[in-house]
Amino acid sequence: MYAPQILIEAALNGLMTGAVYALIALGLTLVYGVLHIINFAHGALLTCAMFAVWGASAWLRLDPYAAMLAVVPLMFGAGYALQRCVIGPASGGSDNNILLVTLGLSIVLENGLLAIFRSDTRTLDSDAALQVVEVGPLLLSTPRLIGFATALAVTGLLWLLLERTDTGRAIRAVAREKLGARLVGIDVDHVYAVTFGLGCACLAVAACLLMPTFYVNPRSGAAFVLVAFTIVVLGGMGSIAGALVGGLVVGVVESFSGLFLGDSLGQIGIFLIFILVLLVRPTGLFGVRG
């Protein structure tokens, strides 16, 4: 058995990691909730965002957090354009085909990055990665604390955007009833693209929070895809609050099962919980539809 201090630290680590997972899942759940598609290109888009942060740091000497100001709009624009010019037209609105198009897109993006940046693993050489905040006997990693706070803030902002703005209302209208939304004059294609852009913007924030402590290579985003899927389902597809809670839960579960089972078998903990939740409550923790 571990000392209480270790358990507390593991729980805090789990929460901090989980918040960033939540952010990645947020993009996925948003796109799912509105477009009703499972976006296979999510991991590759995260990798793109991570490379953008790396590029901003290596070439423009931007701090990864400052880079957020550039990378977030960039990824929003890229996401908007992708949905508007590639995914939408190529899939013709059929769910199967969207699946295939996003799959094709992930192959193109991942290998495009490989062709451009080659396969090297890159890291940011910022000192910020090693800073800690001492709380009693605990050493809490500063970049992860920043990540935790930012992820919560962004989730809040996104919620406000959806609840309180016209764009948000349009997105919700399209999510609920596409045909009806079109009838009342909402430009559905535009809303789709905005939603996809927002999903990518979430990834951009996540990339900025990850890069100080993580690394990037053409496949590094893939590490987060499966876990993001589980969070989305756990929280209920399309639910913002669900993604946040799901992310935190998965983070803590992963942390503890890693502590007791080892990180390798510990991965089973996540999937078993995922399966159990679905079998008992098939709509996820916060899901509404049957």
Partner 1 sequence: MTRRDALPLVAALALLAVLPFCGLPGSALNFLVTTLIIALAGLGWNVLGGFGGQYSFGHAAFFGTGAYATAVLQLRFGWNAWGGLAAGIGLGTLVGLAIGYLSFRAGLRGSYFALVTLAFAEVFRILANAADLTGGAAGLLLRLEPGLATLQFSDRRLFYLLVLAFVGAALLASRWIERSRFGAHLIAVRENEEAARALGVDALRVKLGAIALSAGITAAAGCLYVQHFLYLDAGVAYGTWISVEALLAPIVGGIGTALGPLVGALALQGLGEATKLLAGGVPGIDLVAFGACLIAVIAFAPQGVVGLVRRLRGRRPAEA
Partner 2 sequence: MTPFDAKPGRRSVLRGGLAAASLVAMPAVLRAQAPVVKLGIIQPVTGALANDGDLGRLGAELAIQDLNAAGGLKALGGARLEMVFADSRSNPETAAQETERLNGEGVAAIVGGFASGLCATATQAAARYDLPYMIDVGVADQLTQRGLRNTFRFAPSFGMVTGAALDRLVALNEAAGKPARTVVIVHEDGLFGSGLAKLLQAELPKRGFEILETIAHPTPARDMANVVLRIRSLQPDLVIPSHYYGEFVLMARTLQQQRVRPKGIYAILGGAASSLRFVKEFPQAAEGVMDCNHWPDPRNPKSAELRRRTEAAGRSFAYNVPMNYSAVWLMAEAIEKAGGADRLKIIEALSTGSFGSGVMPYGQSRFDKGQNTSAMPLNTQVQGGDVKVIAPAEYAEAKPNFPLKA
Contacts to partner 2 from residues 34-53, by CB under 8 A: none
Contacts to partner 2 from residues 238-257, by CB under 8 A: 255
Instruction: Decide which of partner 2, partner 1, none touches 107; Cβ closer than 5 to 8 Å per partner kind.
Output: partner 1
Residue owning tokens 């009806």 = 180
The answer to whether 25 contacts partner 2 (rule: CB under 8 A) is no
Stretch that binds partner 2, among 35-43, 73-81, 115-123, 163-171 (CB under 8 A): 115-123
Dihedral over alpha carbons 78, 167, 175, 287 (to 10 degrees): 100
The answer to whether 108 contacts partner 2 (rule: CB under 8 A) is no
In the chain, % helix, strand, coil (3-state, to 5) comes to: 75, 5, 20
From residue 167, alpha-carbon distances to 82, 85, 182, 229, 237 in Å are: 19, 20, 14, 26, 20
CA atoms within 13 A of residue 50's CA, in its CB half-sphere? 32
CA atoms within 13 A of residue 51's CA, in its CB half-sphere? 22
Closest CA to 237 of 19, 36, 15, 45: 36
Q: Given candidates 45, 170, 233, 248, which one binds partner 1 under the rule CB under 8 A?
A: 233
Q: How many angstroms separate the CA atoms of 141 and 88, rounded?
A: 41
- Contact residues: partner 2, CB under 8 A: 2-3, 6, 9-10, 13, 17, 111, 114, 118-121, 123, 125, 129-132, 139, 141, 144, 213-215, 217-220, 222-224, 227, 255, 258-259, 262-265, 267
- Contact residues: partner 1, CB under 8 A: 32, 38, 86, 89-92, 94, 96-97, 99-101, 103-108, 110-115, 118-119, 218, 226, 229-230, 233, 237, 264-265, 267-268, 271-272, 274-275, 278-280, 282-284, 290
